[in-house]
Structures are given as C-alpha cells and as structure tokens.
Amino acid sequence: MANLQMNMGYSLIYRFLVFSFFLKVLCAVPLNHEEISDQSTCTLRRSYFLQPQLKKNIFSLAEEAQMLDKDTDNKIFGNNLFFNIMDEDYCSLMREVTSCVMENVLLTDVRKTFHHTEDAIIFFGNIMRELAGCKVEEKQIKSNVEEMKNKIKMLGPEGQIKVIGELDLLFGHLRKCAFQKPNFFLHYNLNK
C-alpha cells in the first residue's frame, strides 16, 4: 500500500515536470510567424520593442543622463559607428555595440547612479542573447566598435554618462534590426 502511494507521488511529480517543460517550450516559441526568418541566427524579434513600459523606462533613463551630460559635441552612437558597415552586417554591429555597452557601462558602478538601470540591463541582456548567433567576421565592425570603446574611455566617467544618455538612440538602432529589411538600413561607405 505504501509502495503504491509512493509510486503515485512520483507519477504526479513526473507529470508536473513534463507539463512545466512543455509550457516553458511553448512560451519560448514566438507567437507571430513573420518574426521567424531565414537569418534567424542574427535577427531580433519585434516583440522586444513592443513593450511600452520598458521603452518608457529606457527613454527616461536616457533623459536623466542627458541632463548630466556636458559634452554635446561628441556622439557615441553617431555616424562614425556605421562608417563602412554594409547592410548585411548591421545586426552583427549591433551585437558588438550592445555587448560593449553592457560590459563597459551598464554593468559598472554607474548603474547605481540612475533610476531604471536594471530595466536597461535586462533589456540589453535579452538583446545580447538574441543576437548571440551573429558572426562578427568583418574587420570594419571590430574597428568601429574599438573606436567607440576608446572614445568612451577617453571621456572617462563622462563617457559612461554619455552612453546612458544615448540609450534611446541605441534602442532605435536595435529596433531597425527587428523592423526593417536589411536593404533599408542606412550605412556610410566611402567607396560608393
């Protein structure tokens, strides 16, 4: 009798674990079929950018940092970042930029200075995971990101504040990866 009750207990636990696994798998599948593309390894789902509260918090964070930014001449996410970047490399560039922002700014002590930094960390962390399949083989991407890192370091603590103040711009650039076809991306190429 006790053996039968024990087997029933294991059976219920097993069913619960199987149900939980399938529920987790189903939640991970995108609901909108047009979000799945042939280049699924280096694309972003649109659903990341359709969360109004998250967008509001990131833009509020950027606005808060912009008030402290004294340097209005330099742009971290300006035209230099996209110099000689081809359309098909845009999302790969965004992967490297997001990684740099997380590593050199959001995961440092500066995050304690501003409100909504945790929301930004979660959002950009999810973006990094989503773009993990992007291959960065183009030397120009590495060069442009290295130049951006050097600019942030050169500006010191003000550079970190500037990056946070431009998170709204980064949000917009990342949104392009999700909503536009690659041939619509704006890029700057001297060879043309």
pLDDT digits (tens, 9 = 90+) for 145-183: 999 999 999 998 899 999 999 999 999 999 988 886 544
Q: Are 151 and 159 in contact (CB under 8 A)?
A: yes
Q: Are 120 and 58 in contact (CB under 8 A)?
A: yes
State residue 81's pLDDT score: 92
Mean pLDDT, the chain, as a whole number? Answer: 79
Residue 26 has pLDDT above 50, yes or no: no
State residue 178's pLDDT score: 83
Q: What is the largest CA-CA distance in the chain?
A: 82
List the one residue out of 67, 92, 91, 99 whose CA is nearest residue 164: 67
Q: Is the dihedral of CA 118, 131, 137, 186 positive or negative?
A: negative
Q: Which two tokens stand for residue 16?
A: 């619960």
Q: Which two tokens stand for residue 87?
A: 């359309």
State residue 192's pLDDT score: 40
Place of tokens 């560039």: 93
pTM over cut 0.75: no
Q: What phi, psi does 188 have (nearest 5°)?
A: -115, 120
Residues facing residue 83 across a β-bridge: 188
The pLDDT tens digits of the residues spanning 63-84 come to: 999 999 988 888 999 888 999 9
Distance, CA of 159 to CA of 124 (rounded, Å): 18
C-alpha gyration radius of the chain: 21
List the one residue out of 37, 62, 21 whose CA is nearest residue 130: 37
Range from 12-21, 49-58, 153-162 carrying the lowest mean pLDDT? 12-21
- pLDDT > 70: what percent of the chain? 72
